[in-house]
Structure 1
């Protein structure tokens, strides 16, 4: 499973956090606003009730209330505010705003001198609506004695809910706008924070492709140790490669002279001379194998020019056969490795194909899914199925096959192995053999 980039991870985390933050914030604001609005509503109804209490008079058993009250909402029908007064379990007065209603004494008992505030109440006079209720009971002197008089203020919650919904809608709009703005700032901030990382990755890629020898850009102090470590690794690798090649060159020169002297000695039998020549070939092959291989930090090379050179060379070598060598590949097809190794590898395979071919050879190459595939096909006699696997086995005498495919196959197999590639032998559509090379071509 492919891992998400740091940028996508950070943005995803920010989106998740904002997805929790927005509703949570709205809920908190809604609770705070509702509580505040409810407290304000209780204070408002308390003042109205106090207005009723101050305006009410009881003359014996006769109640008295002015026609016009100081609280305007109780004078206006449809205002949503209703006031009633209950004496001796009868509604003795109702506000002008409640003329359209017929009241019965509410089943809300409040002790004398106490108040009661209900945030949600469904009264008998309007069962399809919810009301705030504020109730207060006071004592007044009547013809009998001091008797309780109950004062009630009802307020329809529809206006309250409309105001609350307006607040919620506005809050959601601003929270959404804020979240979008925060997300943009987070994305920009993440991009700025990750800018040195992308810069480091780009410079490492340039170094890997051979355009730079070491990291040179300036980075935040957190990357200093990493930069020094990578540069130290590059310098150590380059120094080891130089020492390795020098050692191989010294070894080659050291063995060359004794072998030349031994081979030039008089009186050598044919078996001894052949053995010395075989030793010389083995040394050359092993030295070539040891010095070959892909560099960890180098520039990719184009395959087409190399194949053109090889095809021109083969046309001259095998001009008596009048072979047709076709190259089928894009000019941008690249091989991530050493040009000499590619020349050696394709040269051996193409030479074998020319020896085995009758008239036609096709060399094709393509890059797909970060793999470079090179095919060399001929119209020769082909390779029997029972010998295909033996040709790829280490230690097999590959030059024993007279079809021509044995010569150079050992070195080809070694080079493919060094580049962590794959090598297969199949039948060609031309009738002969098809040698397939596959190399990982990613950075």
Structure 2
């Protein structure tokens, strides 16, 4: 499963947090606004109720209310405010704003001197919307005694809900705008925070490709330890490789003289001389194999000049065959390794192709899906299907090619393996053999 980048993880985390922040913020603001609006509505209806209370008079058993009230909303039909007075469980008065309604005494019991405000589960009248209800009970002297008179103010919730919905719409719009702005700031902030990481990765890539000897840019203090560790690793790797090659060179020089002295003795049997020559070839090959390979911190080399140089050398070696070597090489093709190893590898394959070819050899090189692909085709007799695997075995030689081919191809196979590459031997479109070697382009893949 592909791992997400730190930048993408941070952005996804920010989006998740904002997705939780937005609705919770709106819910909290809506609750606070609704409570505040409801409290204001209660205060408004209380004042209206007090207005009714102050205007009401009871003369014996006859109620009196002025035709025009101080509260204008109770005088206007359709205002959404309704006034009601109940005496002895009968409606004895309703405001002019309630002319279109027919009321019965509400089943809302409030003790004398107490008030009641209802904002939930409120009653409906004539299939209208819900109403706020404010009720207050006071005592007035009647013909009998002091009797309770109940005063009610009903207020249609429609306007209240419109105000609340307007607030919610505005709040959501601004919350979304704020979240988007925050997300932009977070993305910019993450980019600024991660810029040293990208800079470090780029410098490591340059160092890996051989374009810089070490990390020398300035970074935040958190990266100093990593920077010093990488530089120490580079220096240690370079020193170890130098010591390794020097030790191999010293070993080769130490073995060369004793072998030359032993092989130059005139009285040695021919079998001993051949064995000493074989030992010399094996030592040379194993030393070359041990010193081959990539360091991982070097510049990629261009393939085209190496192949042309090898072709020029083969033209001189096989001058009497008058071979034609055709090229199809991508100028951007690069080999991530040692130039000597590339020449050794391609030289052995091209030499074998020249030995087998009748007149034409084709050499191509290109990059495909982060792989360097080098192919050699000849128009020689080709290689039988059952012999292709044998050709890659150490020391094996086919009669199709001249002496020495077996060790050369085994060295090629070793080098391909060292560079984590692949090699294929197929039939060529020219009629002979086709040898293809492929190498991963780690610098591009990185």
CA displacement, residues 215-273 of structure 1 (integer Å, 9 cap, x when unaligned)? 11111111111111111111110110111111111111111111222222222222222
8 Å contact kept, 2:122–2:133: no
TM-score of the two chains, using structure 1 as the length reference: 0.96
8 Å contact kept, 2:391–2:397: no
8 Å contact kept, 1:77–1:99: yes
Match of 1:303 in 2: 303
Does 267-276 or 341-350 show the bigger shift?
Answer: 267-276
Q: Distance in 2 between matches of 1:403 and 1:93?
A: 124
- Shift of residue 25, structure 1, vs aligned partner: 0.9
Q: Distance in 2 between matches of 1:92 and 1:335?
A: 104
| Match runs of 1:71-150 below 5 Å | 71-121=71-121, 123=123, 125-150=125-150
8 Å contact kept, 1:352–1:406: no
Measured at CA, do residues 425 and 101 of structure 1 come closer, stay the same or move farther in structure 2, by a change above 3 Å? same
Match of 2:27 in 1: 27
1:268 lines up with 2:235 in the alignment:
no
Query: SS of 1:76's equivalent?
Result: coil
- Shift of residue 290, structure 1, vs aligned partner: 1.0
1:195 lines up with 2:195 in the alignment:
yes
8 Å contact kept, 1:120–1:133: no
Does 255-264 or 224-233 show the bigger shift?
Answer: 255-264
8 Å contact kept, 1:122–1:129: no
8 Å contact kept, 1:301–1:337: yes
Q: Distance in 2 between matches of 1:384 and 1:302?
A: 34
Unaligned runs of 5+ in 1: none
CA displacement, residues 371-396 of structure 1 (integer Å, 9 cap, x when unaligned)? 22222121212112222222223xx3
Root-mean-square deviation (CA), in Å?
1.6
Q: Distance in 2 between matches of 1:426 and 1:406?
A: 17
Q: Distance in 2 between matches of 1:329 and 1:16?
A: 51
- Shift of residue 175, structure 1, vs aligned partner: 0.6
8 Å contact kept, 1:122–1:128: no
Match of 1:399 in 2: 397
Q: Distance in 1 between matches of 2:399 and 2:202?
A: 49
Q: Distance in 2 between matches of 1:308 and 1:116?
A: 102
CA displacement, residues 290-340 of structure 1 (integer Å, 9 cap, x when unaligned)? 111111100111111111111222222223222222222311011111111
CA displacement, residues 16-58 of structure 1 (integer Å, 9 cap, x when unaligned)? 1111111111111111111111111112111211221122111
- Shift of residue 114, structure 1, vs aligned partner: 2.4
TM-score of the two chains, using structure 2 as the length reference: 0.95
Match of 1:46 in 2: 46
Query: SS of 1:408's equivalent?
Result: helix
